[in-house]
Structure 1
Amino acid sequence: MTYNSEDVQKILQIALTRKQEGEFSREQLVEMASELGISSNILETTEHKWLAQQEEERSRHTFNTFRRRDFWGHFVSFIAVNLFLILLNLITSPSYFWAIFPVLGWGLGLFFHWWSVYQSKTEDYEIAFQKWRAQI
Structure 2
Amino acid sequence: MTNSGDKISRCYSQEDVQQILQLAIARQVDDDKEFSHEVLLEIAAELDISPESLNLAEADWATKQGEIQHRQAFNLHRQRRFKKRAGNFAIVNTFLLSMDLLTGGGINWALYILLFWGLFVGLDGWNTFQMKGEEYEAAFQRWYRKNQLKRSVDNIVSKFIKFTSR
Q: TM bucket by the smaller chain?
A: over 0.9
Are 1:94 and 2:105 matched, yes or no? yes
Asked if 1 retains the 8 angstrom alpha-carbon contact of 2:97 and 2:107, the reply is no
Cα–Cα, structure 1 residues 96 and 15, in superposed 2: closer, same or farther, change >3 Å? closer
Structure 1 gaps of 5+ residues are none
Measured after TM superposition, the shift of residue 35 of structure 1 is 1.1
Instruction: Please give the per-residue CA displacement for 1:59-85, whole angstroms capped at 9, x wherever unaligned.
Output: 111110110011011111111110110
In structure 1, what is the Cα distance between the partners aligned to 2:53 and 2:61?
12
Match of 1:13 in 2: 22
Q: In the alignment, residue 118 of structure 2 is paired with which amino acid?
A: G
Per the TM alignment, residue 97 of structure 1 is displaced from its structure 2 partner at its CA by 0.3
RMSD: 1.3
**Displacement over 6 Å in runs of 4+:** none
Q: CA deviation at 1:96?
A: 6.2
1:64-103 counterparts in 2 under 5 A?
Answer: 64-94=75-105, 97-103=108-114
- Mark the structure with the bigger radius of gyration: 2
Query: Given residue 82 of structure 1, which amino acid in structure 2 is its aligned partner?
Result: N
Q: Which residue of 2 aligns with 1:104?
A: 115
Please point out which of 26, 36, 51 is paired with 1:25: 36
Q: TM-score, normalised by structure 2?
A: 0.77
- The residue that corresponds to 2:144 in the other structure is 133
**Residue in structure 2 matched with residue 62 of structure 1 by the alignment:** 73
TM-score normalized by the length of structure 1: 0.93
TM-aligned CA deviation for residue 48 of structure 1? 0.7
Q: Which secondary structure does the structure 1 equivalent of 2:109 belong to?
A: coil
